[in-house]
Amino acid sequence: MSSLHVVHVVCSEAFAGVERYVLETSREMRAQGCRVTVVGCGRESVGIPLQRDGVDWLPGARPADAFRALRRIEDIDVIDTHMTKADFVGASVGFVRRIPVVSTRHFAAPRGRGGVNGALGGMLRGAFTRQIAISRFVAEHIEGPSTIVHNGVADVPNVDDAAREPFVLVLQRLEAEKRTDVALRAWASAEIPEPWRLVVAGQGSESSRLRQLARELGVAASVDFVGFRSDVSSLLSRASALVASPPLEPLGLSVLEAMAHGLPVVAAGGGGHVETVGGVDGAALFPPDDVAAAARALTELIGDARRRRDYGARLRERQRASFSLPAQTTATLEVLGAAARRRTTAP
C-alpha cells in the first residue's frame, strides 16, 4: 500500500465539507506512506497546507485545468474523484490512459442535479472501477453499488468540561438546506437562563435573513453571528452544546468534530446524524424541522450539567471507536488499492 500513488481530483475552489475531506484524507494518506497528489481546490485553503505536508498539489478548480493537470502526472495508480465535474475529468483521463478511477460520493443524490452536471452524470454511468459512499445514508440514495467508508476526524485530547462556557454552538454553512432557522426558532422557544448565548459560526447566502429572523424572534440580544472562524477547535472546546439542524446531512463533519471534543450534540434525526449521534444511548435527536422537540432537547441539556458531561463522553467514545481519521483512511486505501490491483491483473 505504501507504494500507491493516489491522485484526488476536486474541481472546486470552495472550502466546505468535500474540500476539507480531501485535505485531511490526503494528509493522512501521506502519513500512512502513500504518494498523494491533489488536483483542484483552492490554493490558499488546500494547496499550500498540503504542500507543507509533502503532498503534491496542482491547480484544477476548472475542469479544463484539471484535465490538463491529470494528463501531465506520471505513474498514477488510481484516481479518486469528488463531485460530478471531477468525476467527468477523472473518468475521461482514466479511460484514455487506462487508469482505474474511484468516485467518492459525498451527497445523498444521484450524480448530477440538472443542467450541465445532470448531463455529465448521465454520461458517467459505468465509468468507475469502484464507488465509495461516506455514509449508509449516501449509499442508499446514489445510483450503483458502493463501499461505505464513514468519514473520520482526528482524535482530540479530553477537554476539561469544567472550563466550558455557557453558550450553544451552531457550526455550519448558512444555506437553506442546513435549516439554521430551526436552530434559531428552537433557541427562541427553549427555556434559556442567563447568561447563556447562541453562537452561530459560518457564512452563506442565508446570513442576512437569519439575522433578521433573530430580530423578529426577539432573541437577537442573545445570539452572536460570528461568521467564518478558523479557530473551530477552540469553539468546540469552550462550547457547552452543539445544535446540528440539517435534516438530511450526508454525514456531518462538524458533528464528528463536536463528538471528538466530547461536546453534547442536539441533532435533527435524519440523514447521517442517525449513524453518528444516533449510535449512542440517550442521543439528543429531534424529528427533522420539529422546533418544539429541538427546544425541549436544548432546555433539558442546558439545565443538566451532569447529563451534558456524560452524553459528551459517550459521543467522544463513539467517534474514537467508529469515526477516526486513520481508520477512515485505511479503509479508503483498501478500496483504492483493490481498484489499482484490477489494473495490474487485467489481461
Q: Per residue, what are the HEC states of the chain?
A: CCCCEEEEEECCCCCCHHHHHHHHHHHHHHHCCCEEEEEECCHHHHHHHHHHCCCEEECCCCHHHHHHHHHHCCCCCEEEEECHHHHHHHHHHHHHHCCCEEEEECCCCCCCCCHHHHHHHHHCCCCCCEEEECCHHHHCCCCCCCEECCCCECCCCCCCHHHCCCEEEEECCCCHHHCHHHHHHHHHHCCCCCCCEEEEECCCCCHHHHHHHHHHHCCHHHEEEEECCCCHHHHHHHCCEEEECCCCCCCCHHHHHHHHCCCCEEEECCHHHHCCHHHCCCCEEECCCCHHHHHHHHHHHHCCHHHHHHHHHHHHHHHHHHCEHHHHHHHHHHHHHHHHHHHHHCC
Please state the separation of Cα 138 from the chain's center in Å. 12
Chunked in runs of 10, what are the mean pLDDT values of the chain (347 residues)? 87 92 97 97 96 97 97 96 96 95 96 58 75 98 96 96 97 97 98 97 97 98 96 97 98 97 98 98 97 98 97 98 97 97 60
Supply the pLDDT for residue 126: 73
Supply the pLDDT for residue 346: 45
User: How far is residue 203 from each of residues 23, 94, 172, measured CA to CA in Å?
Assistant: 20, 36, 8
Q: What whole-number distance in Å separates Cα of residue 99 and Cα of residue 242?
A: 43
Structural domains of the chain ordered from first start: 5-152+325-345 (3.40.50.2000), 161-322 (3.40.50.2000)
User: How far is residue 261 from each of residues 124, 232, 238, measured CA to CA in Å?
Assistant: 40, 11, 10
Supply the pLDDT for residue 8: 98
How much is the pTM? Answer: 0.92
Q: What whole-number distance in Å separates Cα of residue 147 and Cα of residue 138?
A: 11
